[in-house]
Structure 1
Amino acid sequence: MAMDSAHSSKQKRFVNWLTENNARFPKLEFRDDVQGCGSVFCSKDIAEDEVFLFVPFTPLVLTETLARQHLPPLVQSLDGRTALILFLIQQTLLKDASFFQPYLDMIPDKIYTALEFDDQDMEQLRGTNAFLTVKQLRSNLEQKFKETMDIVGKELREEDGYTWEKFLWAETVVSSRTFPAHLFGGVEGEVVLIPLGDALNHKSRHKATWIKTPQGLEMSGCALQHGHQVFNNYGPKSNEELLVGYGFCIEDNLDDLVTLKTNFSQDPDQERKATILRYVGITEKTIHYLRYDSIPDQLLITMRVLAMNPAEVDRCIEVVEQSELVHNTSEQNEEAIALALKQELLFIGIRNEFAMLDLMDLLIGVKLQSILEWDGRLSAPKNQAQEFAQIYRRGQKQILEICSDICRGMFSTLLDESCSESLPTEQAVFIGALADGQPVNPNVPRRVHTQDTYTLEYYKAMALKESRTMSELKRDAVRQVLMTARSIMIEHKDDVFGEALSTAFPGHGWGEETWGGDHDEEEEDEEEAMTIQMEQDAILTCYLIFESQWPDRFQTFINVAKKYDYSSQLDEEMMEDVEDLRQSLQETLEEVDSSVFDFDSTFTPQAFVWSTGLLEALSLSFHINGELFTGVLAPPCC
């Protein structure tokens, strides 16, 4: 094996140590790459699938079992990874007395994974997932060091060299250089260090094959010409994983991703929604990953469930109950429920899909804005660690922007579809089932196009054609598919109903020339926002009752809506709440105009139950630039 003069003493000693212990690598040589990092190159041409490296198990491969054999009794109670960390510290302290010293000499004194970042390096991660991840991992590692020394401190003392700094170094060696033991017939969950094998740098999507033989490990791969660098393939690794575990990043990494976690702990329907998700294999702890080319189906399903209102949850719970009645065995039952629910959760309804995309836009927007806000405050990179952090930031922004565009394409498609006369009315509103509980005709399509049409590639293409921003699309959706308190006031500003409403609710004027949300989420306190929302709900409730007198004006909407039997879903306390609402409005509205607000024949208790239920079933909100727009899904969507 040929060598450059740099580091030749250590390299020569390492090469001799390898060959003396029966390792074979006749076509490999050590030298620095263009970035000055020690790497492995071909000294001769290598054919495809030719074995170019062999490392014997004994005595060269460092295992957790080997580590325990060399450590004192107190270490035996620790996990294998910690034992390997302590073994590496022990061997470095032994220096030339250690059999592995030639190998340890080839490992840098400091491996700049993100765990080794100083404060200035960490600043370059501000606003990203990695910033919190690294802080948490480092805190966990410090706690692990403390707990480890509490156990072994009498035998492996800090004053003898078992320090935090050494512990951190050994941890980065294990995170950046080990291989899974199970790949070579070892115990699942354990890791091993393979001298020479761990000197090969990573190249994604590169052919690299490790072969276990009775004596050791062989490696082959693609054909390589003399002078080319020899790479390993660590598997598909995101830049966050590479930065934290290995200390580098890859520009335009096709395996990169953005981690997303969902949280519905504050949702009043949390338990039922969690039940629905569990049946399709999703839990509250499920982590979702956005990639360059996709938004995972599991994330879209999760967001649809989070966006469900009680009527939509009822429908999915009904699917569960029906499957439980049909299938006998537990296994058949769970498979049937999962299959039925997955079909339902591909598209629940227009209202839910709009609500889901609004939530997705918020989730992605918050992540992206967090990164962008810090971009302008950061100084130019001053070292390689900071340059890698910038590569990581760029990748995160690109993925979020691409996925935001996919959502924009989905929203644009949905907006066009929701205004289409060809969409089956009942399915747009009532989740694939008529409000009276009868099943939908299976020959009627759930959407204008099939799932084969609505692919991510289709949505990407739609986003390219769509010139409107997401905020502009949402504003158009408010105008086209929502009946809001404001739109109702404007529409009826010249008739007796409108005049009566403006008198009863003077804070919701007709200002058509201004554009604003129902309320600003940041500027108003919780009590004020709640008051505004209650008044808007009252306006919408009254409007639905008022319009139901003339079904020809909104015939499709009213006919479908009247099938929704909300009273059967109300318990006694909820019925009392609806009656309290009616009574609170009666005196005010009758005083304004009793001919319009006739509480004896039109605004009856039954009418309030129906309109309140309809409002809950069809209510939809859009978040636009910090403002909230709320209304009822309007014709022709419903």
Structure 2
Amino acid sequence: MSALEPQVVETFKAWLVENGAHIHPDVQFEPVPSGFNVIAGNNVPADTTVVAIPFSLAITPDVSKAALKALIRGADESHLLDSLSERQLVCTYVCLHQIAKDAASTSQAGVLRHGPYIDTLPSAEKLRTPLHFSSVELEAFRGSNLYGATLDRQRDWQAEWQQCRAVVSVANSSWGEAFTWDRYLTASTYLSSRAFPSTVLSESPSLVTTPSSYPVLLPGIDALNHARAHPVSWVVSGTKSATPLASSSSEPSISLVIHAATPRGSELFNNYGPKPNAELILGYGFSLPHNPDDTIVLKIGGPSASHGSAAGGATGGEVGAVLAAVRVQNDEEDEDADDEGEDGPSIEDELCAADMLAEMAQSLYDRLPPFPPANAAEMRPEVLQMLEHYLEGQRDILQSLIEFANAKEASALQKAREQGLDIVAEEDEEEE
């Protein structure tokens, strides 16, 4: 065992191997304030498989439900599990490892078999998602979309927790009492920050979620932190190993291959895919400076309009789609609006849509909280940094939307002049 690694990591690595997984000998766990970083104990060359686990070691809804059924032994009660979502099943399974870990008979029966993995996960006080912010820290985000998303998530997860606690109480009333909101929040945060979509456990592994996919936890593979655009692959092996460290058994396994060479002492990274800071903060508890994947949600009303549109920082097709959605809303609200002809929307429609988009973006921009906030001294440095990164991206996107809308308005006015139309810009009307 490396001098950097505590006993809990040694136990976890031994558990992985005992259950058919493989971990590269140069993979070392380094304790840090947030939990563990995974570093290279020696130079790790490019295209190295750092960890491989059999599918059976994943924590899936089916694995969780089977364990919970074994705990809720009464046939009349176990049907209650059918009311729980895939998320709730996994979170309840994780929670019960902490609640029931002293029950030797349960552990020996293999019902709750992921204890060595769960013991390596960060404790609640180390988590930094918005639901773990202090009241002062969360208040600093008021006025942003992220503030509202945090309140929505808290409401939804607390409703889930109440339902799960009721089911657990059927199995054991003392477990039900121990099934606290804090425990469920911690398990839910593990899922939001570490889970992969089930599509990764397929012949063609993918991080793309689908309507039928569900969250799964992959012990060992989920230990690596995120680096944007870092070259990695997930390789699924079947009866014959496709990678040096993949399982040699007939059971399918999934391997994480890092394609960039990593020098000794440097951190080994995974790649969670392109994610905006709003998602990174809400689900993971960290942010990236100058994140090119940042988005913003615009609430666009109207009976046939979508509930929202995500606009990137560039004024390209995505922003054009937002403008089109605004135009549709404007047409639906205005019964006298001209129908779009073969040559596209009328100049009046273009002007109205551009003006509406500019007003919407400016309103969101004006509502964003200031930085630094008045109570910055009462915030933890890592939370203050997340606020800075988040606001930086939101302001950049909204400014680009305003500039795009103004350019569209100027273009429409120029077309009107060329066609000899007498159209007065709204700001000219206000001056009169």
User: Normalising TM by the smaller chain, what interval?
Assistant: 0.7 to 0.9
Deviation at 1:216, TM superposition (A): 0.9
The one of 298, 306, 309 equivalent to 1:288 is: 309
The one of 144, 160, 164 equivalent to 1:144 is: 160
Counterpart mapping for 1:202-601 below 5 A: 202-214=226-238, 215-227=252-264, 228-264=266-302, 274=303, 283-294=304-315, 295-308=318-331, 309-313=334-338, 315-316=339-340, 344=344, 348-372=345-369, 377-380=374-377, 381-420=379-418, 423=419, 481-482=423-424
List per-residue Cα deviations over 1:61-95 (Å, max 9, x = no partner): 11111111111213233222111111001112233
Amino-acid identity (%): 22
AA partner of residue 67 (structure 2): H
Q: Between Structure 1 and Structure 2, how many residues are aligned?
A: 386
How far, CA to CA, are the matches of 2:123 and 2:35 in structure 1?
14
* Secondary structure of the corresponding residue to residue 16 of structure 2: helix
The one of 104, 108, 113 equivalent to 1:99 is: 113
Could you list the runs of 5+ residues in structure 1 that have no partner in the other structure? 265-273, 275-282, 320-339, 429-479, 483-620, 632-638
1:10 maps to 8
List per-residue Cα deviations over 1:435-492 (Å, max 9, x = no partner): xxxxxxxxxxxxxxxxxxxxxxxxxxxxxxxxxxxxxxxxxxxxx842xxxxxxxxxx
Q: Is the 8 A contact 1:123 1:378 kept in 2?
A: no
Distance 1:69 1:240, change over 3 A: same
Distance 1:148 1:93, change over 3 A: closer
How far, CA to CA, are the matches of 2:326 and 2:372 in structure 1?
29
1:153 maps to 169
Q: Is the 8 A contact 2:305 2:328 kept in 1?
A: no
How far, CA to CA, are the matches of 1:354 and 1:378 in structure 2?
42
Q: Is the 8 A contact 1:204 1:235 kept in 2?
A: yes
How far, CA to CA, are the matches of 1:398 and 1:99 in structure 2?
47
Q: Is the 8 A contact 2:350 2:408 kept in 1?
A: no
Deviation at 1:373, TM superposition (A): 5.8
AA partner of residue 430 (structure 2): F
Deviation at 1:365, TM superposition (A): 0.4
Q: Is the 8 A contact 1:211 1:217 kept in 2?
A: yes
Deviates further, 398-407 or 301-310: 301-310
Deviation at 1:12, TM superposition (A): 1.4
Q: Is the 8 A contact 1:114 1:244 kept in 2?
A: yes
Distance 1:219 1:4, change over 3 A: same
Distance 1:208 1:144, change over 3 A: same
Distance 1:373 1:92, change over 3 A: closer
How far, CA to CA, are the matches of 1:393 and 1:176 in structure 2?
21
How far, CA to CA, are the matches of 1:121 and 1:87 in structure 2?
31
Q: Is the 8 A contact 1:358 1:623 kept in 2?
A: no
1:79 maps to 85
Q: Is the 8 A contact 2:136 2:375 kept in 1?
A: no
Distance 1:21 1:147, change over 3 A: closer
Deviation at 1:180, TM superposition (A): 0.8
| 1:132 paired to 2:148 | yes
1:66 maps to 63
AA partner of residue 78 (structure 1): L
How far, CA to CA, are the matches of 1:176 and 1:156 in structure 2?
29
* Secondary structure of the corresponding residue to residue 95 of structure 2: helix
Distance 1:33 1:236, change over 3 A: farther
1:585 maps to none
Deviation at 1:139, TM superposition (A): 1.2
How far, CA to CA, are the matches of 1:13 and 1:224 in structure 2?
28
Deviation at 1:119, TM superposition (A): 0.7
How far, CA to CA, are the matches of 2:408 and 2:375 in structure 1?
34
Distance 1:4 1:240, change over 3 A: farther
Distance 1:417 1:86, change over 3 A: same
How far, CA to CA, are the matches of 1:51 and 1:223 in structure 2?
11
List per-residue Cα deviations over 1:226-247 (Å, max 9, x = no partner): 2232211111111111111111
Distance 1:95 1:154, change over 3 A: closer
* Secondary structure of the corresponding residue to residue 629 of structure 1: helix
AA partner of residue 275 (structure 2): K
Deviation at 1:24, TM superposition (A): 1.6
* Secondary structure of the corresponding residue to residue 256 of structure 1: coil
| 1:622 paired to 2:426 | yes
Deviation at 1:127, TM superposition (A): 1.1
Q: Is the 8 A contact 2:232 2:259 kept in 1?
A: yes
How far, CA to CA, are the matches of 2:156 and 2:384 in structure 1?
23
Deviation at 1:43, TM superposition (A): 3.0
Distance 1:88 1:156, change over 3 A: farther
Deviates further, 110-119 or 134-143: 110-119
Question: TM-score with structure 2 length normalisation?
Answer: 0.81
* Secondary structure of the corresponding residue to residue 121 of structure 2: coil
1:579 maps to none
Distance 1:377 1:289, change over 3 A: same
2:207 maps to none
Distance 1:131 1:8, change over 3 A: same
List per-residue Cα deviations over 1:519-571 (Å, max 9, x = no partner): xxxxxxxxxxxxxxxxxxxxxxxxxxxxxxxxxxxxxxxxxxxxxxxxxxxxx
Deviation at 1:101, TM superposition (A): 1.9
Deviation at 1:376, TM superposition (A): 5.8
2:24 maps to 26
How far, CA to CA, are the matches of 2:367 and 2:375 in structure 1?
13
How far, CA to CA, are the matches of 1:102 and 1:299 in structure 2?
48
How far, CA to CA, are the matches of 1:307 and 1:78 in structure 2?
41
1:191 maps to 215
| 1:56 paired to 2:93 | no
Deviation at 1:30, TM superposition (A): 2.5
* Secondary structure of the corresponding residue to residue 376 of structure 2: coil
Distance 1:256 1:27, change over 3 A: farther
How far, CA to CA, are the matches of 1:113 and 1:36 in structure 2?
12
The one of 159, 172, 180 equivalent to 2:197 is: 180
* Secondary structure of the corresponding residue to residue 122 of structure 2: coil
1:614 maps to none
How far, CA to CA, are the matches of 1:170 and 1:36 in structure 2?
16
Distance 1:259 1:33, change over 3 A: farther
Deviation at 1:125, TM superposition (A): 0.8
Q: Is the 8 A contact 2:232 2:270 kept in 1?
A: yes
How far, CA to CA, are the matches of 2:306 and 2:403 in structure 1?
27
Deviation at 1:630, TM superposition (A): 9.9
2:242 maps to none
